[in-house]
Every structure is written in C-alpha cells, then in structure tokens.
Structure 1
Amino acid sequence: MKATSIVEFVRDTYKTDEFIPLHAPTFNGNEKAYVTETIDSTFVSSVGKFVDDFERKIEAYTGTAKAVATVNGTAALHAALYMADVQRGDLVITQALTFVATCNALYHMGAKPIFVDVSPVSLGLCPKAVEAFLSEHAEITEAGCIHKHTGKRIKAVVPMHTFGHPVELDELVAVCLKWDLVLVEDAAESLGSFYKGKHTGTIGDVSAVSFNGNKIITTGGGGMVLCKTQELGVRTKHVTTTAKVPHPYEFLHDEPGFNYRMPNLNAALGCAQIEVIEQYLVQKRSLAHQYMSLFEGTDIKYVVEPKYAKSNYWLNAIICPDVELREQLLQETNAAGVMTRPIWKLMHRLPMFENAMCGDLTQSEFLEAHLINLPSTPIETK
C-alpha cells in the first residue's frame, strides 16, 4: 500500500485539506457551561464541587472503589506506586515498549525498572515473559521477592495498556500472586477499555489514568488514581492533598505528602467530557473498523483488540512488513500534512535507563521497528 492511499482515506474521513493531528480533543458537550460556572464561582483551584463530582463520575463509570483526581497522569502513577509501597532501591518489572512517563514515575520513586517483553496479543506486558524472567532471576524469601544477583527487592509489576488495548490481566495477577508482587496498572491510555467485562485499572491493587489533551477524554492536564478499596482511596486522597488534617483554620499536616491536587477548573472540563465518553467510544470503534477495511487484503496488519477485551481504540496502529515501508509511510504522510508517528523508542535505549536490567525484548524490538500510529480523533458517525 502507498502513502497516498492512506492520506486520501484520512482526508476523506475527516473531510478537510488542513493539517490532521494524531489525536485532538473534542468538545461538543457542557464544557463551556461547566468551566464558566467554575470561573463565576471563583473556585478555580484545588477546592470546588467539580473535583468531587469528577471523582464520583469516574468511580461510577469504571466501577472502582475510590478514584482520586490528580494534576496529571504521571502524578497519578507516582502516587499509585507510592501507595503500593514501592521504595527507593526497589526493582519494578515493566515493559520497555511504553511512553517515558511510566519509567519517569519509577525514577522519581528511586526505584529501578526491569524491562521484559510485550505480548503480540495485547502489545502490553507479556505474562509469560514476566514469569520467565522471575523463574531465572528471582527467589521468594521472608523479605519478599528478591533478585538473586543483586539482592534487591522486586516489589511490583507495572503493565501499560498500550494504545488502550488491555493486557492479559488474569495471567499477570497469577504471576504476581505466585511471586508476592503488587500489580499496578498503568491505565493512562485505556479509559473506556474493558477486560472480560471489567474496566482496566480496577483489577490491579491500584492504577493510574491520564486525561492529557490527547486522551479519549481530557481535563487539559490531569490524571486519576483508581483504588481497589475505600481504605486505600481515602489514604491516597490524603497523601496527594499535602497530607493536610481537616481543621477549621489550622495548618496541620501529619506526614510528608504530595501537592498533586487537580484544579476545579480542570475537573469541570472532565465532568463534561465523561458525560459523552460513550459517544466517543462508538465513534472511535467506527473509525477503527474503517481502518480495518482499508488495510484488509494488504501486507500491512491493522492492530485489533484482543479477543478477551473491548478496547477504546485510543490510537489506531498498523504494523508494516518491513522497516523500509514504515519509514516511507512516515515520511510521506507527514509531508502531506497527515500526522503519523512511530511507536516510542524503547526505554532501555534512552540514556537514563540504558543500564537497566532487561529480559528478552524480541517482540518489543520488532514493534519499535515496524509500527505506525494513525490519526485517531473521534468523528461523528452517521
């Protein structure tokens, strides 16, 4: 397939000759009304009704016990790792094929990543690869799961639901139970995605969601910690709001905390966005099926949701048969004003993580060299 065919399809789909971004925010609900209400109330910072309302709406939508709003997705993941008791010097198993925020959060915890491979089924962390690494390099002791060579504690497993496609969670849960590890889901990209009927981010002990401007719904900048229990949620809320003890006028703080509070102004936007998420999901699924038809019968493979899941199809992706075609498509589509992107550079290739421990990364390296993301903004369906 030639780049011109993709460009023509995308331009016909979005009905414009202007530049087409990878994923733009869509505002066609109560966004202006709620934001204006927030401004009129003067409660534009971290106190206001929309923060509480947004947390309750996310709880209702995802089915999580407690949702805690944060200033961005990276802060949410940092808080989730903190609540999972990941400590300085710990090792955490995650995927090399991820956005850098996953590993930045680990870095700022003082933890070190162990990179293992992703699954061809989900493009996310592979349970078999995790088990293989642990069987070879780890042992269970009274202190927990220990890396045999370094003596360091392996504390958690952090899968990322790549492009919104849920990872094989049952299998990862089984591995974590066997090896005494905490499962922390990086669900930044997967709001609206379901694993065997359960929303992503609700199966691990704690998880993080992002509402960045390019996500399926946005608060401009923002995130959310999803907590499996009320008790964990209450403590997460306390720690992420400077650990301030309620008092009519005194400033009392009972432990070191984070100032990760989401402003009411951002939460107002989120309340409007979550009201129309089902509409966006229908539109994105329709777009995904159109892409499927476009590439059917070609040597380019369109990435579909796993059979066990219902994905939000956050970013549409294709896998090219060779590196040369991938480079050609990237160059020609972008030159034509249609934004396409390669997948992220693998984390162990970045200078700050180049000394990290790695398992076999065959599948990750293949995807790094062959995958392209295509424009994925939801559009109205007729």
Structure 2
Amino acid sequence: MQMELIKLVRNIYSTNEFIPLHAPSFSGNEQKYVTETITSTFVSSVGKFVDEFEQKVQQVTGSAKAIATVNGTAALHSALYLANVRAGDLVITQALTFVATCNALYHMGAKPIFIDIELKAFGLCPVATEQWLSENAFIDEQGQCRHKDSQAAIKAVMPMHTFGHPVQIDELLTVCQNWNLTLIEDAAESLGSYYKGKHTGTLGRFGALSFNGNKVITTGGGGMILCQNQEDGIKAKHLTTTAKVPHPYEFYHDEAGFNYRMPNLNAALGCAQIEQLEVKLASKRLIAEQYLQFFENTDYCFVVEPEYAHSNYWLNAVVCPDANARDTLLETTNKQGIMTRPVWQLMHRLPMFANELKGDLANSEWAEARLVNLPSSPNY
C-alpha cells in the first residue's frame, strides 16, 4: 500500500524529485507588489499594503475587523490579552495542537487546561469540556469561573481548528455561555474553512490566523487577529502598534502595548497571495478527493471535513490502523522522498507543560498514535 501511495503522490505533483509536506507557490503578483514596496521605501509597518491586506482578509472572512500581526502567535497573544487573560489565569485548550497555541499562554504567565478532542474534526470536545468544568470549576459571586482547588480564574476557551477542519463551535459557545468564558479561536490553519457557512475565526469574540510559509497563503511570516466587533478591532490595532496615541509629532503611549504590526513588505506578499486563494483552495480539495478515493476500502481512514463544515484541507491526514502501521508509513514515504509527518506530540508530554491541569485525554492519545499528514501543497 505504501508504494502505491508514493506513486499516487508523485502522479499528483508530476515529479520524481523530493515532495514537501506543504510548500508555498508564487504564481501571481508577488514579485510586482514586493518590488513596489521596496521602491516606495515603506517596507516596515507603515504602508498601503498593510491596510489593503487587512481589508482583503476582512472581506474573505466576514470579520468585523482584521488586524495584521507579525505572526500567528502574536495574534493569539494579543487576542488573549484583549480578552483580559493575565498572568495566573487558566485557559481551556486541547493537548493535540501545535505548540504555538500554548506558547502564547506561557509567555503571558497564563496556564493551559488540557481537555480531550473529539474524533470527527480532531478539535476540542465540547462534551469533555463541559464535564471537566462541572467536576472541577465553579462560578463565584462576581460571576467569575474559577478552578475549585486553586481558586485560579478560568478566563477563556481556545480550540484549534486542526488541519483546517472546523471544531464544534456552537456547542463550545454554549459551554462558554454556561460558564462565563470567552471563546478565542486558534484559526491559524483554517483560512478558507467555514463552519455552517461562517468563516472560522469569526464565531468567537476573537480569532487568530497564521500566514507562515506552510499555510494556504503566506506572507513569509505573519498573522491576523479577527475581531467580532469594531470596538475590539480598534483596541487591537491600538494595542499592537505600541499603544501610541495619534498626534502630529508627540510620542505618547497610554498603556503598555505590543510592537506586533505586520511589515508592509510581508503584507505586499499577502495581497498577491490572497488574490489566488480560491484557486489554491479548489486545488487542495481536488487533491483531498484523490486521497479519499485512494484510501477507500483499506484499513486506513482519510480525514474528511465534518458534515457541518466546508474545510480548506490545509493538511491532508490519514488515520492508520495502529502505531506500527503509522511508523511504517512514515518511514517508507520519507525514505522515498515523500515528506509525511506524524501529528504533533501532545502538549502535556512536553517538559514546559507536563504539570498543567488536564482531563482524560484518551482520544488525543489514540489520534497521536495513528495520524499521518500527507503532502498537501496546492498544485495548479
């Protein structure tokens, strides 16, 4: 089966050379816009392409306001801060995620609570979240959700749309309403994904996108805060531009802000990339369909979008029968120049998060032992 899969991947990408997991493609106005930026000398955080890129992402996602940042982690950190998460606070998230989700918490002195995933979208499970809160949390007289043992405030729920597949947002929103928590979507991987017709990252109070080199579109490095209302958007822009109060010449900052604005040079690349978004997404769905057909009637299960969603298929994934089958697939494909990867190590296994609060992570551990990501670059 492994050699047949290698043949399929080589046919998809029409090459006998090394095939990466997800490579960027530059076939539009990238060089033109970047050259224009260099010629203008406005290569830093001031320039027309920053505003244009924000507007284009805003239009694509339907967000009330989109604020460009230097990377996805900066977008997450800003969203958490705007949601009033501070040092010592707790935030519910999933153990099966990329480390950036938890790094954003770590560097602001907040702590994760690791809750299990469901096995449809491999995202944070609302049932497991509600169960953990019922057993381990209470709401105090001021309406603040707190951990029973430590009394620490639980401020937010932060699911991640794994591989671009939307989590069960409605159910998580209900949990948040029951426990007075803020929903912040780690939508780093899900540009072009929709939950019941609404773009991911726009259903919680805040969402965070990433435009790293391995994402659907790239700005080299970059991210975006998606805000559900204009007021939060204004605050986000102020906070990420060192909280400088506008003035013809004076330098006055009214709070401790962040220097998180995306440079114009990166935004120029993003403007060219987003012009090709629909073509890239269409190509990725065609590739996913070929994988789906290949794995039919085998012991391997290709990961498809949930029935409530329209996914971008950022990283195609397959569930192997067991850990041995996973390892064999990884070893064979990589030896043949086809880059495949296991899912990330679960966060509670990493040394900096080993002692954090967690629920039963049986589904997360099951998925960790079986998931393999397949080459997913758009091909057009």
Q: Fold-level match, TM-score > 0.5?
A: yes
Q: Distance in 1 between matches of 2:247 and 2:5?
A: 60
Q: By how many angstroms is 1:370 displaced?
A: 0.4
> What does the per-residue CA deviation read over 1:89-142, in whole Å, with 9 as the maximum and x for residues that have no partner?
001100000000000000011111000000111100000010010010011112
3-state DSSP of counterpart to 2:282: helix
Alignment match, 2:210: 210
Asked if 1:24 is matched to 2:23, the reply is: yes
Asked if 1:90 is matched to 2:89, the reply is: yes
* Structure 2: runs of 5 or more not aligned: none
Asked if 1:105 is matched to 2:72, the reply is: no
AA paired with 2:17? E
Alignment match, 1:67: 66
Alignment match, 1:55: 54
Q: Distance in 1 between matches of 2:338 and 2:12?
A: 12
Q: Distance in 1 between matches of 2:141 and 2:367?
A: 39
Alignment match, 1:282: 282
- How is 1:110-259 mapped onto 2 (pairs within 5 angstroms)? 110-143=109-142, 144-259=144-259
Alignment match, 1:348: 348
AA paired with 1:151? Q
> What does the per-residue CA deviation read over 1:280-307, in whole Å, with 9 as the maximum and x for residues that have no partner?
1100000000000110100000000000
- My pick for the range that moved more, 246-255 or 192-201, is 246-255
Q: By how many angstroms is 1:167 displaced?
A: 0.2
Q: Distance in 2 between matches of 1:86 and 1:142?
A: 19
Aligned length: 379
AA paired with 2:71? N
Asked if 1:14 is matched to 2:13, the reply is: yes
Alignment match, 2:35: 36
CA RMSD of aligned residues (A): 0.6
Q: Distance in 2 between matches of 1:244 and 1:150?
A: 37
AA paired with 2:288? A
Alignment match, 1:319: 319
TM-score normalised by length of structure 2 = 0.99
Q: Distance in 1 between matches of 2:11 and 2:171?
A: 41
Give the fraction of aligned pairs with identical amino acids, expressed as a percent.
67
3-state DSSP of counterpart to 2:313: coil
Q: Distance in 2 between matches of 1:21 and 1:84?
A: 37
> What does the per-residue CA deviation read over 1:63-90, in whole Å, with 9 as the maximum and x for residues that have no partner?
0000000000000000010011101100
AA paired with 1:320? C
Q: Distance in 1 between matches of 2:376 and 2:294?
A: 14
Q: Distance in 2 between matches of 1:263 and 1:119?
A: 38
AA paired with 1:257? G
* Structure 1: runs of 5 or more not aligned: none
Alignment match, 1:363: 363
Alignment match, 1:373: 373
Q: Distance in 2 between matches of 1:323 and 1:58?
A: 39
3-state DSSP of counterpart to 1:191: coil
